[in-house]
């Protein structure tokens, strides 16, 4: 991927899945569809709640969280008042659950937030929270199935709460054959250029400590 693709400012590397109203990296499409077919045979309607996400969408999410328009949560999932936090603490709080614009793995089209459409069709209101995938949650069978089978299709969980600064996300799976190359290619310099040119709230605070944020929240992931 080139710099624009790595930072979500281009979509030349992704293809649309009309049935699921999302886009994924062109090399992740066949492996995902094979995994979806395997899950369907076991009664799981594997779907994508979020696939490719461009820079502008990630920027909007960031600015909404920075300004308090969108809810902000601590590591335990408890709500925070964004405007009560000092700027560096606000950056830390956002990064627990959301990536910097230009640094989201969703920019690559390799990373997918996975759900089972069966509980959703039965009336479950999707929140993408850890309890939904835990014991007793509507996506417990999906989580167990992915734990057993995702790796053979090339997918892994980059955020398991071990090495990455991002909180554990049991819904977030990454296509390793492409994502690992992208992770190594997304340097601090490339990310800084994308952020510097954007109308991003808190930009000066982020750029001042970008080496730290990049090391903890971009370069460090829980490898397969």
Q: Which residues contact 217 (CB under 8 A, 6 or more apart)?
A: 95, 99, 100, 103, 164, 165, 166
What's the CA gap between 213 and 165, in Å, rounded?
Answer: 9
Domain ranges for the chain, please list them: 3-219
What's the CA gap between 69 and 61, in Å, rounded?
Answer: 9
Q: Could you report the per-residue pLDDT of 4-43, keeping only the tens digit for each?
A: 999 999 999 999 999 889 999 999 999 999 999 999 999 9
Q: Which residues contact 222 (CB under 8 A, 6 or more apart)?
A: 157, 158, 159, 160, 161, 162, 163, 164
Kind of pairing between the strands at 22-25 and 46-50:
unpaired
Quick one: pLDDT band at residue 197, thresholds 50, 70, 90? Answer: very high
The CATH class for the domain spanning 3-219 reads alpha beta
**Confidence (pTM):** 0.94
State the sign of the Cα–Cα–Cα–Cα dihedral 48, 27, 159, 100: negative
Q: Which residue has the tokens 């892994």?
A: 156
Q: Could you report the per-residue pLDDT of 128-146, keeping only the tens digit for each?
A: 899 999 999 999 999 999 9
Q: How far is CA 161 from CA 17, 125, 220, in A?
A: 30, 25, 11
Q: How far is CA 219 from CA 5, 28, 64, in A?
A: 17, 21, 25
DSSP 83: G
pLDDT at 42: 96
More confident residue, 51 or 76: 51
Q: How far is CA 184 from CA 5, 13, 95, 181, 200, in A?
A: 14, 17, 19, 5, 24
What's the CA gap between 183 and 197, in Å, rounded?
Answer: 21
pLDDT at 36: 97
Above 90 in pLDDT, residue 121? Answer: no
What's the CA gap between 205 and 152, in Å, rounded?
Answer: 41
Q: Going edge to edge, which strands form the sheet with 155-156? A: 46-50, 111-116, 172-175, 155-156
pLDDT at 223: 86
Residues of the chain with pLDDT > 70, as a percent, come to 100
Above 90 in pLDDT, residue 159? Answer: yes
pLDDT at 19: 87
């Amino acid at each position: 991927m080139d710099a624009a693709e790595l930072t979500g400012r281009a979509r030349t590397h992704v293809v649309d899945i009309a049935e699921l109203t999302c886009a994924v990296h062109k090399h992740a499409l066949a492996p995902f569809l094979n995994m979806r077919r395997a899950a369907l045979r076991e009664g799981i309607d594997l779907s994508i709640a979020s696939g490719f996400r461009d820079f502008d969408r990630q920027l909007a999410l960031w600015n909404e969280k920075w300004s308090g328009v969108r809810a902000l949560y601590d590591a335990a999932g408890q709500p925070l008042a964004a405007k009560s936090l000092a700027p560096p603490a606000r950056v830390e709080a956002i990064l627990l659950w959301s990536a910097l614009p230009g640094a989201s793995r969703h920019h690559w089209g390799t990373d997918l937030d996975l759900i089972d459409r069966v509980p959703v069709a039965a009336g479950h209101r999707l929140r993408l929270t850890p309890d939904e995938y835990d014991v007793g949650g509507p996506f417990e069978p999906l989580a167990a199935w992915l734990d057993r089978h995702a790796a053979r299709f090339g997918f892994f969980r980059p955020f398991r709460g071990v090495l990455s600064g991002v909180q554990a996300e049991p819904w977030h799976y990454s296509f390793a054959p492409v994502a690992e190359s992208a992770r190594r290619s997304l340097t601090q310099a490339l990310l800084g250029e994308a952020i510097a040119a954007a109308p991003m709230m808190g930009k000066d605070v982020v750029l001042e400590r970008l080496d730290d944020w990049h090391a903890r929240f971009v370069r460090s992931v829980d490898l397969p």
